[in-house]
Each structure stands twice: as C-alpha cells, then as structure tokens.
A and B are shown apart, each in its own frame.
Chain A
Amino acid sequence: MRKKTASQNNHNKKSAKESQASTLDTILEEYMSKLEQKVVSQTQQLKAITDNAASSLFMLDPNGMPTFMNPAAEQTTGYTLDEIKDKSLHTAVHHSYPDGKPYPDSQCPLRQSVKHMMQVRDQEEVFIKKDGSYFPISYSIAPLTNDGKPMGAVLEFQDITKRKELERQKDDFIGVASHELKTPVTSLKMYTQVLKKKFEKQGDTLASESMAKIDNQINKLTSLISDLLDVTRTQTGNLQLRYEEFPIDTMVKEVVEGMQLTTKKHTILVKSTTKKTIFADRDRTSQVLINFLSNAIKYSPQKSKIIVEARIENKELVVSVQDFGIGVPKDKIDQIFDRFMRVTGVKMETFSGLGLGLYICSHIIMRQSGRIWVTSEENKGSTFYFSLPVTAAV
C-alpha cells in the first residue's frame, strides 16, 4: 500500500471538516425551521385565542399605554389600537366618573395595579366607549415580568351591563316583594295586639299570652323582611343614615334590656360603660348591637352568659359582644361578614336565618366610617366588635 502524502492528508481533513460543517448547517437549518414553525403555530394559536375570546383583552406597558387589544376589546370600547395607542388606557376609556366628574389618573385602581405590579381579580369599574357612553365592567389584571423586570400587564375585562340590569331588576323585585309582604303583616299584627288587649281585660291569661307569642313570631317575620329590604338598599346604595347625637350607654342599655326579654336562658351582662355621647345613626347602630346579641343568643344554645362591653379607645367607640357558644370555624372567619353566610355547628346543626344580618351590620358600620371584626375559637365562643369614630362626640 502506498503511503499517503501530507497534502493528501490535509485535503482529506479539510473535506471532513467541510462535511461536518455542512451537516451542522443542515441541523441548524432544520432546527431553525422547526423553531420558526413552532413560533408561527404558537402565534397562530395565540391569535386564535385572543381573536375568539369573549373577554376583552388589553396588553399595557408599565406606563399603562395599550400595546395590544383583541377584537373583543375593540368591539366593547369602539376604539382600534391605532386610535388609542398614544394615550394611556385611563385617558382613553376611564377618564371620568359616570356623573361626568373627572377621574384623576392618580386615583385609578387599574393604573395603580399596573404601576405596582399587583395582581387583581374580579373588580368593578365603569369604562367609557368611543361614543362617550358609560358601561360597567368587571376586570382582572395580571402583571407581566421578564427576568423580574416589569413589562406591563394583561388586562382582561367583561362588559357587565346585562348583569347589572338583572341585579337592578332583582333589587326592584325584592323591594316590591317586601312592601307587599309587610301589608298583610301589618293587619295581622294589629288584630293580634287588639285581641291580646281584649283577652287581658277579660282576664284570660292563656289566650293573652298566646297572642303575645304570636306577636313575637310576627316580629321575627318582620325582621326577616326588613333584612331582605336592607340588603337591597345596601346593594343599591339607598341605605339612608340619620345622624344624631346620643348617649352611648343609654343606647346600649335599651338594646340589652330589649334583647334580655327575648331569652330566658341567657343573662346579658354589661361590663363597662363610656359616659360619652356619639354622633351617629342611633337606630342603625342599635340594629348592629341587636344583631350581635341575637347571634350570641342563637349560637350559644348550651351557655347562659353573654358579655357586652362599650369603651372609648383612641378616639373610637368600641362595642363588643362576647358569647361562649359554638364559635366560628377558622376557614369561615374571613367570610363571616359576607352575604348569605351562615355558620353550621360541628354536629352539623343548622341555625335559622337568611345569612344577611352581619352583612348588613358591616355595611351600616362602614358607612359610618367605623370598623367591624370578630375573634373566635370553635366551641369556645366568639367576640364580635364594632367601632365608630367619636371625633364629633361631646
């Protein structure tokens, strides 16, 4: 066999390198083409999703300027991206309140959540269409980051005009229904009380006491109807407050005496007094205390003591009602002031009621710039608190 010369060797090495390079090129090309296909298919997929989404979608840069909107967003707002991309979203569709007053950028919760990279879910605002009309929306915001760097946010929203209209119809219906329910209750109550008085005069104790019991049941029915009405008022913002100055201790005493009449099993103790007056809605504040007390009675069927305290702490009136009953389970405590919330006992015993009382209470207290909260341990009892500012108190 003839020996290979150096030049031959070199040539062979070179062609091996070339062929290696061309294989690499092919692999790279194939890879690139696959990558390209993948990008194209993913882009198409993404476009199909955003094009067909029923929700309106916006992409916003960190300054709240729109960089993308899907067809649903164009349809709901009436704008195209080109028409609003040089404005912030707030300036374009959120610049005023429905009453026409300007809505400052600095107060815009959407703007704030984009700026501070906060995730937001199912909040409500009112947007403005291109034609100037207002429409209620429910929105969620998801911040976007790249290597921890803020890239803006995705805003998703739905036009909830229909939902709001249905809510309004429901509220109107409940308003009419409770009015209609109160009419027969009024005559029922009158007949009962007149009969009670007649039986009393005749000395028929059994009959007059039975009439008093019927009257008591009618009162329960009335309070359920009132709760239904109150809850629609809180929803429609129609809960009227009547501020007056009144002595705190007298209000507490009256409520406690009234509630003591409804229970033979429990003793309601008033542990502390304030000797102060407060400027607040007396009837509504009493209503909150009545609700706390009737809950304390209802949810401590095996116990007899209920403690009421009223004190002034840091320019606030703090009123608390403590019971030693079934308590609130830990996983339910955050929802205790929600609508339709009802606590079930550990033995699954249920308690009557619509689950509206505390929801209404929290509304009444918050409308008066106060706070409402609870501490509780299951099977040990609960303490419900509300506070009201006493700055205007004398």
Chain B
Amino acid sequence: MKKKILIVEDDEAIIDSIQLLLEMEGYEFKSITDGRKVRRLKEPLPDLILLDIWMSGQDGREISKYLKSNQDTKHIPVIFISASKDLEKSASLAGADDYLAKPFEMDDLLKKIKNFLSPTE
C-alpha cells in the first residue's frame, strides 16, 4: 500500500509542486489549505504530515500542538516546512518531529520523509 502524505499549506503552487514530486516518488498525496480542517481529520489518517507555520488565519505551531496532544494523531510524524524565522525553536516547542526551511532542495525533503517512512510497505 502506498504511504499517505498530507500537506497543510495555504500556497497552491507549493502544494502543486510538492504533489508532482511526491506522486512521482510513489507516495499518495493529500492537501489541506485551511488549517482548521486538520482538527477534523478522519480515517484513513495520513502516515506523515508536512505542515506550514505561517498560514492565513492559522498558526502551524498550534496545529502541531493539537496533533501531538491527541491520542489518535500523536503518532503521526510532523515535519514543519516554513520560511519563518526560528524554525528549529518553533519545531521543538510545538512538538514537531523535524523541520525544513523554505526554499529547500527536493532531495532534502525526500530524505527527511524517508527517515520516517518509505513510499510503500
């Protein structure tokens, strides 16, 4: 079965370009542009979440804290992808598993994802 990656990001072009990449690499891809919807995630849950920090009306750090405090979602690896400053500090405070500063190299993103999961298992 393909592994599912969810991206929470309010920039359509970033979603689209990462979708191209991840589908090419054999992952199943889902996206959410409205951060509030993360709180209503339903089965099947994603295997990994890429989370932007600075979204219109939503703070990725709060979303991460929510996910990590919820029994059903706390096991899902969260990787912050953001152009915000103090990314490392934000990641550690919000309980994210890893982080990647925008703009990033395709290979770095794939490597970080592969640390947590391979495309199929």
A190 to B106, CA, bound (A): 6
- CB pair B24 A194 closer than 8 Å: yes
Chain A residues with CB under 8 A of B17? 186-187, 190-191, 194
A198 to B23, CA, bound (A): 13
- CB pair B103 A222 closer than 8 Å: yes
Q: Per-residue 0/1 for B76-104: is the Cβ within 8 Å of any A Cβ (1 yes, 0 no)?
A: 00000001111011000000000000111
- CB pair A184 B84 closer than 8 Å: no
Q: Min CB distance, B54 to chain A, in Å?
A: 7
- CB pair A242 B88 closer than 8 Å: yes
- CB pair B104 A186 closer than 8 Å: yes
Partner of A183, one of B18, B83, B104: B83
Determine if B13 is an interface residue (Cβ-Cβ < 8 Å): yes
Main secondary structure of the interface of B (DSSP, over half): helix
A190 to B25, CA, bound (A): 13
Interface residues on A, range: 20 to 34
Partner of B83, one of A182, A189, A198: A182
Determine if A238 is an interface residue (Cβ-Cβ < 8 Å): yes
- CB pair B106 A187 closer than 8 Å: no
A-B contact pairs, 20 of them (CB 8 A): A179-B83, A182-B102, A183-B102, A186-B83, A186-B102, A187-B13, A187-B16, A187-B17, A189-B103, A189-B104, A189-B105, A189-B106, A190-B14, A191-B20, A194-B17, A194-B20, A194-B21, A222-B103, A240-B89, A242-B88
- CB pair A187 B14 closer than 8 Å: yes
Given A183-B83, A185-B103, A242-B88, A190 contacting B54 (CB threshold 8 A): no
Q: Which of A164-203 contact B (CB under 8 A)?
A: 175, 178-179, 182-191, 193-194, 197-198
Determine if A207 is an interface residue (Cβ-Cβ < 8 Å): no
Given A185-B103, A190-B18, A229 contacting B85 (CB threshold 8 A): yes
* Size of interface on B: residues with Cβ below 8 Å to A: 22
Determine if B62 is an interface residue (Cβ-Cβ < 8 Å): no
Q: Min CB distance, B11 to chain A, in Å?
A: 5
Closest 6 CB pairs of A and B: A190-B17, A187-B13, A182-B83, A193-B106, A186-B103, A186-B102
Q: Per-residue 0/1 for A102-122: is the Cβ within 8 Å of any B Cβ (1 yes, 0 no)?
A: 000000000000000000000
A144 to B106, CA, bound (A): 65
Q: Min CB distance, B37 to chain A, in Å?
A: 21
Determine if A85 is an interface residue (Cβ-Cβ < 8 Å): no
- A-contacting residues of B (Cβ < 8 Å)? 11, 13-14, 16-18, 20-21, 24, 54, 83-86, 88-89, 102-107
Q: Which of A219-239 contact B (CB under 8 A)?
A: 222, 229, 233, 238
Determine if A356 is an interface residue (Cβ-Cβ < 8 Å): no
Given A187-B16, A190-B14, A194-B20, A233 contacting B85 (CB threshold 8 A): yes
A273 to B54, CA, bound (A): 43
- CB pair B54 A184 closer than 8 Å: no
A187 to B17, CA, bound (A): 6
A178 to B13, CA, bound (A): 17
- CB pair A218 B103 closer than 8 Å: yes
Chain A residues with CB under 8 A of B89? 240
Given contacts A183-B14, A186-B17, 9 further A-B contacts (CB under 8 A): A179-B54, A186-B14, A186-B83, A187-B16, A189-B104, A190-B17, A190-B106, A198-B24, A240-B88
Chain A residues with CB under 8 A of B13? 184, 187
Q: Min CB distance, A223 to chain B, in Å?
A: 11
Q: Per-residue 0/1 for A236-252: is the Cβ within 8 Å of any B Cβ (1 yes, 0 no)?
A: 00101010000000000
A233 to B13, CA, bound (A): 28
